[in-house]
Amino acid sequence: MDDIRRWDVPGRVNLIGEHLDYNGGPVLPIAIDRSLTIKVRAREDGVVNLWSDLPDSAKVSFATTVQPGDLGGWAVYAAGIVWSLMEAGHRFGGADLVVESRLPSGAGLSSSAALTCGIAAALNDLHGFGLGLTDLAQLAQRSENDFAGAPVGIMDQLAVLCGEADHAVLLDTAASPPTTQGVPVTWSVDGLTLLVINTRAHHSLADGEYAARRDECEQAAAELGLEWLAQATLDATVRLTDETLKARTRHVLTETARVRGAVNAMNRRAWTQLGTILTASHASLRDDFQVSCPELDVAVEAALEAGALGARMTGGGFGGSAIALVPVDQVARVRERVEARYAAHQWREPETFVVRAADGAHVVD
């Protein structure tokens, strides 16, 4: 039917620059070739109907006047972006939305940002709101912050909207509004690929610990008299007295340097160097920022033992996924090694798959 538009919206992995998006640092995510499809059709009766194949999802309906707290479950994300658009004065008469997912949910691959950004982009297109990609990302971030109650940064939204095939997206999160720049991803020319290892673990402390890290970073920046913690220089770790704040700051400033190093290595096709930087990022997230978990650490260790050039957790941490830069001919070996190590721990079998850098949200037909 020609009044239905179909959108394809990718998930993301973050190549490097973890926990920097709320610290004004550089971040280098990739939109991936695993996506959601969102079909959208306008309604005029003030109702939004939502059907999906996501786990635990029957049909959900809510009014376009929906408010925070009105509903829970995964539909909170769809309702949140409707609320955020309406709050910003982008009014519309309702919608039918059908969501089909090829993104593993709960894997830390930003299925929530794909949902909010995809709906925002589709409604913007349908109703001619005239919003640009950064506007959409900010409205989607607001829906997660103020409707869903998740104090996330803006990396996921910008990655999902501004991704480009065969490119990573370098974000400057200190700019107002944040800016994006494509960085070519050419490792496949040299026989390498990016492997995602979905640990299938999700530790319940994830949300509270994320908020706690944000608070600690804000506290450290305030003590140092900085607007953004990513502006800290080495003397910060001497000036701060609290050991926890010192460690958090050490992660933020070394990770900021690692993002610059990673871009440089990618531009020179220096893959061994890129791998070393990725692995160093993991160590910093594990030891200084303390957002890893045994399942992520074992995935990284096993990947490195089996021939990965580098590996790290990706996203918020405490479960979710790790990534590994792997020679194509070692992919099976890495997968087997990770599975064997998980089996020895009697953990659920992890899911591993190769990803490519894909385009951001776009209309299909």
Give long-range contacts, CB 8 A cutoff, 24+ apart: 200-205: 200/106, 200/107, 200/295, 200/319, 200/348, 200/349, 200/350, 200/351, 201/293, 201/295, 201/296, 201/318, 201/319, 201/320, 201/347, 201/348, 202/106, 202/318, 202/319, 202/320, 203/293, 203/318, 203/319, 205/318
* Mask for 286-315, x = binds ligand GLA (CB under 6 A): -----------------------------x
Nearest distance, CB of residue 307 and ligand GLA, angstroms: 27
Q: DSSP letter at 228?
A: S
Q: Which of residues 6-25 bind ligand GLA (CB under 6 A)?
A: 14, 18-19, 21-22
Which residue number, 18 or 164, has a Cβ lying nearer to ligand GLA?
A: 18
Torsion of Cα atoms, 54 then 34 then 263 then 177, to 10°: -50
* E strand or H helix that includes residue 113: helix 111-127
Which residue is catalytic, options 21, 156, 242, 287?
156
Which residue number, 32 or 152, has a Cβ lying nearer to ligand GLA?
A: 152
Which residue number, 7 or 22, has a Cβ lying nearer to ligand GLA?
A: 22
Nearest distance, CB of residue 179 and ligand GLA, angstroms: 16
> What is the dihedral sign for C-alpha 189, 320, 211, 358?
positive
Nearest distance, CB of residue 316 and ligand GLA, angstroms: 3
Q: Answer whether 41's CB lies under 8 Å from 4's CB.
A: yes
* Annotated catalytic residue 207: no
Q: Which of residues 118-157 bind ligand GLA (CB under 6 A)?
A: 152-153, 155-156
Measure the CA angle with vertex 259, ends 235 and 33; round to 5°.
155
Q: Is 163 in the site for ligand GLA (CB under 6 A)?
A: no
Q: Answer whether 110's CB lies under 8 Å from 10's CB.
A: no
Burial 1-30 (b: 16+ CB within 10 A, else e): eeeebebbbbbbbbbbbbbbbbbbbbbbbb
Give the interface size with ligand GLA as a residue count (CB under 6 A): 11
Nearest distance, CB of residue 41 and ligand GLA, angstroms: 29
Q: Is 216 in the site for ligand GLA (CB under 6 A)?
A: no
Distance from C-alpha of 314 to C-alpha of 319, rounded to nearest angstrom: 9
Distance from C-alpha of 292 to C-alpha of 206, rounded to nearest angstrom: 10
Q: Which of residues 340-359 bind ligand GLA (CB under 6 A)?
A: none
Q: Is 26 in the site for ligand GLA (CB under 6 A)?
A: no
Which residue number, 8 or 156, has a Cβ lying nearer to ligand GLA?
A: 156
Q: Is 232 in the site for ligand GLA (CB under 6 A)?
A: no
Which residue number, 14 or 352, has a Cβ lying nearer to ligand GLA?
A: 14
Which residue number, 94 or 153, has a Cβ lying nearer to ligand GLA?
A: 153
Q: Is 252 in the site for ligand GLA (CB under 6 A)?
A: no
DSSP alpha helix (H) spans, 202-270: 206-224, 236-239, 243-267
Q: DSSP letter at 151?
A: -
Which residue number, 152 or 266, has a Cβ lying nearer to ligand GLA?
A: 152
**Looking at the annotation, which residues are catalytic?**
156
The residue ranges that bind ligand GLA (CB under 6 A) are 14, 18-19, 21-22, 152-153, 155-156, 315-316
